[in-house]
Structure 1
Amino acid sequence: MYTDAFPPSRRKLEWQAQDTPSLWETVMHLRPSGIRAKRPTYLPALVAITQTSIIGLRERRAVAPRDFRLKGLRDWYDFGDQRPAATYKQMGKGVNVGAVWHVLREHIVRDADVLKRTTAGRRILQAVLTAPMSPDDRLEATGTA
């Protein structure tokens, strides 16, 4: 068997992909203890350099910097010639600004009645509701996108 050459601590398969039909339809994480298979809608934080994620879905490849679009970076963004470990660390700690903006906006809309009660609340409500729907809209308007 292929796994006989692996140390016993690395022979584990954690199936956390529920009813996903095959391993190649999951996102696999090669961990020091073995393989963890997750649903294809899940991608872990990228800071753990000891974990390598493999996107199984028809691509059968490791997560690459181009996948950082999930974090909101444009396709043209370039990390230069820094080490891959530094890039993964940066992106693992990064946050998708568009997702944060959406959550903030939804909370402001939800709490509009409370915010209307104070001057500061009305200013916040006004600022958020008159702002672009997406940070990308703002970048495009200023010509920096």
Structure 2
Amino acid sequence: MDDTACVHQWGEEMARLAKEFSAGFEAARGYSPGEHEVPLASAEEGEAAVALLGHAGAAEALLEYYTQLGPVVLPDLGNGVWIDDASSVITQKEAGNYPNRLTGAVHDTVTVFGTDGGGGMYAISHTTGGVYHLTLGPSPATATTSI
């Protein structure tokens, strides 16, 4: 199975799990859940996102994600998980709100694509395609912004 098919399959499974999570949430927590969304992108949406992010130099693995999926909203999962839409990734980067370099124990170029609701960010490595969870606590690298 190619990477694009894996991303699509992951998105379908996450959408199913988000519905299941929401369905049992109120009984377990005593209040209604927020809106949980893991949308699959249409071909047109995927092409537009990839064009926008590709022009801005986003990591290849992130482009693969946006060909198949859109912004994820899971507000009740832990502190919450949000994966931005492509235009928000670019807007935040250009505004200097998201770092694009890690320096220290790890040296890497990254693209931040989401947040965890507790002040942390999710960033994808341009080198390996791996995902970093950048928290506000001590970390092996310092996140810096340079445009």
Q: TM-score, normalised by structure 1?
A: 0.25
Higher relative contact order structure (alpha carbons within 8 Å, sequence separation ≥ 6): 2
CA radius of gyration, larger in: 1
